[in-house]
Chain A
Amino acid sequence: MSAAAATAAASYSLVRQPAMETGLLEVSMGPHHPSTHGVFRMDVRLDGETVVALKPVFGYLHRNHEKLAEGMSYLASMPFTDRLDYFNSMTNNWAYALAAEQLLPIEVPERAQYLRVIMAELTRLVNHTSLVGFFLNDLGALGTPLLYAFRERERILDLFEQASGARMMCNYFRFGGLRCDVPEGWLARARAVVDAFPRFLDEFEKLLCENEIVLARTQRVGVLSGAQAVNAGITGPMLRASGVNYDLRKVDRYGIYERFAFRVPLGSAGDCYDRFMIRLLEMRESLKILDAALRDIPTGPVMGNAPRVFKPAASETYGRVESPKGELGFYLIADGTTKPYRYRVRPPSFINLTVLEDLCVGHTIADAVVILGSVDIVLGEVDR
């Protein structure tokens, strides 16, 4: 202590000082924070441990994906869609192919339709298992559930690698079908993975769903009402956890989803526990779809009669699919050339963050981490 500081301390009246200084504390959580799932920042204002205000800060991974896509041909941005939500490249591909096929209708062959459903539902399993793993990581169950989840995820990524050549950046869909057929024996291997999956889910649910700490940390935390969720544009499992029955696989019936019998799980409380359970229940439904699709898939070509050069006439369209995180939409404006005049991605996890502040205010900062985990964000898509 310097002499000046020592003098200042000596002259400081301890008697007049209150027992404890109280005031609001501003904490910048992130961009490098393990619970923000990437480079995301939350500016939090705290009263003690309680969140009184929270502002999400975006843009650390911004690369202006949309501008890049406007400068290249339609198909050339297909591999870039893989990098939006890098957990779910197959559904990103599908959303883009769906929008492009609305601009310039191309008949998709039957086998390709089935393979699209199979890939999308396997992707949903990948996303939801990892989400549940990461969510428990955020709750403090460091590592173990996540590694259980990643063990199963890796089996599915192996399937993706055999089909497309890449584990995560699949670039598998084309306008009018798929890039290539699956290799010999792939369907049998997929069948084995799907058949083994319920056993893992049983084990996972037994370990987690009735765990007292999980219940205490997630129930009645971050409650979102159905009306608020619809108004704020929340989609996907987060919307359905609030009890709103809106699943694009049922509403739009894109692809061949009307052929499969599956149910849409709904939550009732809209809290973190519901958002967590919805994912586990959706995996069971995905397995039903996979089971039927793997049984019924016909043989035949996987690529429709697509033109060599994709050059739609001047028009505009909005195509959307139910990606594992919510409604993933592509808004395309064609001007009669081989490049899109406007290419817009509607990222579900970006818009799902609209209500983050409302969910977190009044809870502790440790709960804010859990709430963010239950939203299920991926920054490749949030920042684009």
Chain B
Amino acid sequence: MSTPAWHEPVLQQFPAVRWDGAARALIVPPELARAVAEWLTQPDHGAWDFCSNVTGVDYLPREVKEKSKRPDGTEEIVVRTEPGSLQVVYHLYSVAQRSGPLVLKQVVPRQAPAAVSLTPVWRSCELQEREVYDLFGVSFEGHPDLRRILMWDEFTGHPMRKDYAEPQDYEWEPTPHGDVLEKHRRGKVIIA
């Protein structure tokens, strides 16, 4: 499937934006994201007026084995750790010109991930960015109402992360017998 070259004007206008050919997506640095988004909505620049889908993707750090040549001509295998990342993916369409999708990605580190909210540009991001915040733990600077949306407020953790492990006592209810009673005797459980 070939994609029209909608991304090329963006690359010319913003040299810091990178094109990922495999994923067919524009990799936008978070600090530029708002400017790129506002530029894209202009009628002359493609009129990308409709941000259809916003979501996150979690990539864990992984080990990559690469062959490299020593100066003496023999080969060795080098193991290198690729850092993980969180991506926030935006699928843009143009209702006015009936074109799309143009994919934008903000790539942020897995530790303290901070992206820039595009809700001020496309209102449709509002609930979806909240969902990314809730399930992936990416915070969005400039979001008007950044709260958990699907999980309950007291929940800790971000279940859509690839390394999320649910707690052992996830659906555990204190009932005063058996193991629970034993824990209670040891003072670990307070039974109301």
Contacts and interface: CB of A to CB of B under 8 A. Distances in A.
A320 B123 contact: no
B52 interface: yes
B123 A232 contact: yes
B124 A232 contact: yes
Contacts of B186: none
A64 B159 contact: yes
Interface residues of A, number: 37
Is chain A's interface secondary structure helix, strand, loop, or mixed overall? mixed
Interface in B66-106: 89, 91, 95, 98, 101, 103
Given A67-B159, A67-B160, A231 B55 contact: no
Interface in A322-367: 327, 329, 331, 333, 341-342, 344, 346, 350-351, 353-355
Contact of B49 (A62, A231, A351): A231
Contacts of A314: 22
Contacts of B50: 230-231, 233
A231 B53 contact: no
A180 B9 CA distance: 47
Contact of A244 (B22, B95, B149): B95
Contacts of A251: 98
A49 B91 CA distance: 40
A353 B57 contact: no
Interface string B13-56: 00000000011110000000000000000000000011111010
A197 interface: no
Contacts of A310: none
Contacts of A318: 53, 91, 101, 103
18 contacts: A59-B148, A67-B159, A230-B95, A231-B50, A231-B123, A232-B124, A233-B52, A233-B125, A244-B95, A315-B23, A316-B23, A318-B91, A329-B52, A329-B91, A331-B53, A350-B127, A351-B127, A354-B126
A354 B123 contact: yes
B89 A331 contact: yes
B191 interface: no
A342 B57 contact: yes
Q: Sorted from nearest, which 7 A-B pairs have the closest CB atoms?
A: A233-B124, A232-B123, A59-B150, A346-B53, A62-B150, A344-B55, A231-B123
Interface in A101-135: 102
B1 interface: yes
Contact of A64 (B53, B55, B128, B160): B160
A346 B52 contact: yes
A112 B118 CA distance: 40
Interface residues of B, number: 33
Contacts of A315: 22-23
Contacts of B53: 318, 329, 331, 344, 346
A318 B1 CA distance: 12
B152 interface: yes
Interface string A212-233: 0000000000000000101111
A240 to B, nearest CB: 11
Contacts of A320: 52
Contacts of B11: none
A246 B98 CA distance: 8
Contact of A246 (B95, B101, B127): B95
B151 interface: yes
Contacts of A331: 53, 55, 89, 91
Contacts of B150: 58-59, 62, 64, 383-384
Contacts of B101: 318
A66 interface: yes
